[in-house]
């Protein structure tokens, strides 16, 4: 990422890539939590 984007610019859709990355991270986080639930382990960061 070249520059820091403000939340407003993300909402406006100026930084589509950032939104996609953010969504992917959210999805991965959700999957990790689901996996942790299945295995009975605490999610570590």
The distance of Cα 14 from the centroid of its chain, to the nearest Å, equals: 18
pTM higher than the cut 0.85:
no
Long-range Cβ contact pairs of 23-29 (< 8 A, separation 24 or more)? none
What pLDDT was estimated at residue 13? 64
Q: pLDDT, tens digit, for every residue of 1-45? A: 556 666 676 566 666 777 788 888 999 899 888 888 888 766 555
């Amino acid at each position: 990422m070249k520059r820091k984007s403000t939340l407003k610019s993300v909402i406006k859709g100026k930084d589509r890539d950032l939104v996609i990355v953010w969504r992917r991270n959210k999805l991965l986080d959700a999957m990790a939590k689901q996996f942790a639930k299945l295995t009975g382990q605490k999610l570590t960061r």
